[in-house]
A and B are shown apart, each in its own frame.
Chain A
């Protein structure tokens, strides 16, 4: 089984990104997704900056994929998307139908991100014809949903990617919830989200975890964790285990622990963390926040 590192969903400084990816180059991760997927106002990194990091990773043998925005509204956002597709060096991850349209027009292949709604064989076949080479599965689908789809994907040669670690992206809005929490209008947000390495926790008034707000994105409050189930995912037909970054240090620990387990063919992944709550219900066809050990 191969491993992938999703684009960082949070807003970090250029220095933090650079240090983080510098360390990623020394891990055994197979594929690294780069770029801003949540908010086009976050501009600590230019496309050129991402390309430089991409080249660094590619030189170490990593497959690099440039991720694109999930909710595109403004023309400037479409223009930036077109620039990403036009660069010829790296594969792209389409997170909105606009990215699929632009890629298809440019005859470029793409990875369908998990915000692209593909739930059945007819869609899988259609998007494969339009250039999809890998399907990053919508977070709410589980193993039983996938069983009847996997033979079709294998026939078409489409790779499957499933999230095994990190908070799940659960919703996108026109509204910035981080700005709202700080009582600021979105247009004058003061980039408050840069203060939160991994978003802001929203809990019930009884202290149960509910969600994590991250700008216009709402994530699962709990961190998904299927690390110790990686062999079951592989047996089901998943090609890529996807790690979604949390804080840099923890993310690096998870990458090392998972790739070690895979390299040594060990069922159990040597990773413990008592500072976050975990879940994996979706894989087991349950409510997403449930946790099966």
Chain B
């Protein structure tokens, strides 16, 4: 079972490699990937350096080109693919069928991993991508229960990768337009959700309000932990009551079900968070390396202290195994 770590930039890549990641995933400095944030991602120069460093240490480099190009921007996406094919990337992580079609027009066998953004949640969807594009692996959306993941992994024609740790997505990935509804920019098109350019904080009489394109997402009394206004994790009014209508600010952590995921035949665990700092990547990769080794080699389990480190890095300092557990749904 591979540990796949995020690398938003060169220092993060080095930390992930040094902590024993089997693979890192990266993106280019444009809207072709689902973490199109300013100051993030790889220029061509750093890309060469990063690939070299990873490969010297037996770590693979996957490249996410996993947004959906609109026709006007098509050439940006294809030239990103062209660059990735020529530069020594080990696999492309792709969501758009048109882009997969383009990759196959250039190479019959370059490894394609189906991005979580393609939202393949069942066997026939996996068959579709396998038969049409010969995908090697699929990253499953964070909407399935453990039982469903197990059944799917048993029958799947391709390798299965799942998310292990990081920000919890509650919507089927690649099928959520809430961000563009509120701000005009979405994960599918611009690779962003609840973009920081549309965020505004206001403080009045000790009450802190977070807004996204002027809409109030949440407000915090003094002493309350104020989180980033991700639109699905705010408090709203529903039939007269104020509630987290969609989800609380919380992170995904599946470490407790790692043996079951391994048993099910899952080949890789993905850590979310290309937008996170190198120090974050270092800690998370370190603890998850231990956890995977414990499953694979029966070596020492992560300590309580290790687990607390992960909790401390989590959104709202709480974690869930999310949809893997039926009761969350």
Q: Are A120 and B170 in contact (CB under 8 A)?
A: no
State whether A170 and B176 are in contact (beta carbons under 8 Å apart), knowing that A78-B123, A101-B128 are contacts in the complex: yes
Interface centre among A70, A73, A74, A127 (most CB of B within 10 A): A73
Assess whether A75 is interfacial by the CB under 8 Å rule.
Answer: yes
Interface centre among B178, B242, B323, B326 (most CB of A within 10 A): B178
Q: Are B71 and A202 in contact (CB under 8 A)?
A: no
Q: Are A123 and B121 in contact (CB under 8 A)?
A: no
In the bound assembly, the distance between CA atoms of A210 and B129 in angstroms comes to: 35
Assess whether B127 is interfacial by the CB under 8 Å rule.
Answer: yes
Assess whether A102 is interfacial by the CB under 8 Å rule.
Answer: yes
Q: Are B323 and A175 in contact (CB under 8 A)?
A: yes
Decide if the interface of chain A is mainly helix, strand, loop or mixed.
mixed
- Of B125, B143, B145, B177, which one neighbours A101 at CB under 8 angstroms? B125
Q: Are A220 and B181 in contact (CB under 8 A)?
A: yes
Count of A-B contacts judged by CB separation below 8 Å: 219
Min CB gap A157→B, angstroms: 18
Q: Are B238 and A200 in contact (CB under 8 A)?
A: yes
- Of A73, A187, A205, which one neighbours B122 at CB under 8 angstroms? A73
Assess whether B327 is interfacial by the CB under 8 Å rule.
Answer: yes
Assess whether B251 is interfacial by the CB under 8 Å rule.
Answer: no
Taking CB atoms and an 8 Å cut-off, the chain B residues in 179-227 that contact chain A are: 180-184, 186, 188-189, 213, 215-217, 219
CB neighbours of A190 from chain B (8 A): none
Q: Are A174 and B188 in contact (CB under 8 A)?
A: no
What 1/0 flags go to B85-118 for Cβ under 8 Å of A? 0000000000111110110000000000000001
Min CB gap B308→A, angstroms: 27
Min CB gap B327→A, angstroms: 6
Min CB gap A204→B, angstroms: 4
Assess whether A100 is interfacial by the CB under 8 Å rule.
Answer: yes
State whether A73 and B98 are in contact (beta carbons under 8 Å apart), knowing that A287-B181, A288-B180 are contacts in the complex: no
State whether A139 and B329 are in contact (beta carbons under 8 Å apart), knowing that A73-B122, A177-B246 are contacts in the complex: no
Assess whether A136 is interfacial by the CB under 8 Å rule.
Answer: no
State whether A186 and B181 are in contact (beta carbons under 8 Å apart), knowing that A97-B125, A117-B95 are contacts in the complex: no
- Of A115, A117, A144, A287, which one neighbours B182 at CB under 8 angstroms? A287
Assess whether B1 is interfacial by the CB under 8 Å rule.
Answer: no
- Of B71, B219, B245, which one neighbours A181 at CB under 8 angstroms? B245
CB neighbours of B74 from chain A (8 A): 120-122
Taking CB atoms and an 8 Å cut-off, the chain A residues in 255-293 that contact chain B are: 281-282, 285-289
Min CB gap A242→B, angstroms: 16
Q: Which residue of chain A is the closest to B155 with respect to CB atoms?
A: A75
Q: Are B121 and A101 in contact (CB under 8 A)?
A: no
What 1/0 flags go to B251-275 for Cβ under 8 Å of A? 0000000000000000000000000
Q: Are A213 and B97 in contact (CB under 8 A)?
A: no
In the bound assembly, the distance between CA atoms of A168 and B245 in angstroms comes to: 18
Min CB gap A31→B, angstroms: 24
Assess whether B300 is interfacial by the CB under 8 Å rule.
Answer: no
Min CB gap B250→A, angstroms: 13
Q: Are B217 and A204 in contact (CB under 8 A)?
A: yes
Q: Are B171 and A171 in contact (CB under 8 A)?
A: yes
CB neighbours of A123 from chain B (8 A): 96-98, 101
CB neighbours of A205 from chain B (8 A): 216, 219, 235-237, 242
Q: Are B96 and A73 in contact (CB under 8 A)?
A: no
Q: Are B178 and A211 in contact (CB under 8 A)?
A: yes
Q: Which residue of chain B is the closest to A204 with respect to CB atoms?
A: B216
Assess whether B298 is interfacial by the CB under 8 Å rule.
Answer: no
Taking CB atoms and an 8 Å cut-off, the chain A residues in 101-119 that contact chain B are: 101-102, 104, 115, 117-119
State whether A213 and B69 are in contact (beta carbons under 8 Å apart), knowing that A97-B128, A123-B97 are contacts in the complex: no
Assess whether B284 is interfacial by the CB under 8 Å rule.
Answer: no
In the bound assembly, the distance between CA atoms of A202 and B102 in angstroms comes to: 41
Q: Are A175 and B328 in contact (CB under 8 A)?
A: yes
CB neighbours of B127 from chain A (8 A): 101
Q: What are the 6 A-B residue pairs with the smallest beta carbon separation, nearest first? A: A122-B98, A98-B124, A123-B98, A174-B143, A288-B181, A101-B128
Q: Which residues of A contact B (CB under 8 A)?
A: 70-75, 77-78, 81, 96-102, 104, 115, 117-124, 126-127, 130, 138-141, 144-145, 148-149, 168, 170-177, 180-181, 185-187, 200-208, 210-211, 213, 218, 220, 281-282, 285-289
Q: A97-B120, A117-B96, A139-B177 are in contact. List 15 more A-B contacts (CB 8 A).
A: A96-B125, A117-B95, A119-B71, A123-B98, A126-B98, A171-B178, A172-B175, A172-B176, A174-B172, A174-B323, A181-B239, A187-B329, A201-B238, A211-B246, A220-B181
19 contacts between A and B (CB under 8 A): A71-B121, A97-B124, A97-B125, A117-B118, A117-B175, A121-B98, A122-B99, A138-B188, A140-B181, A149-B71, A170-B178, A171-B178, A174-B143, A174-B172, A186-B326, A202-B237, A202-B245, A207-B237, A208-B215
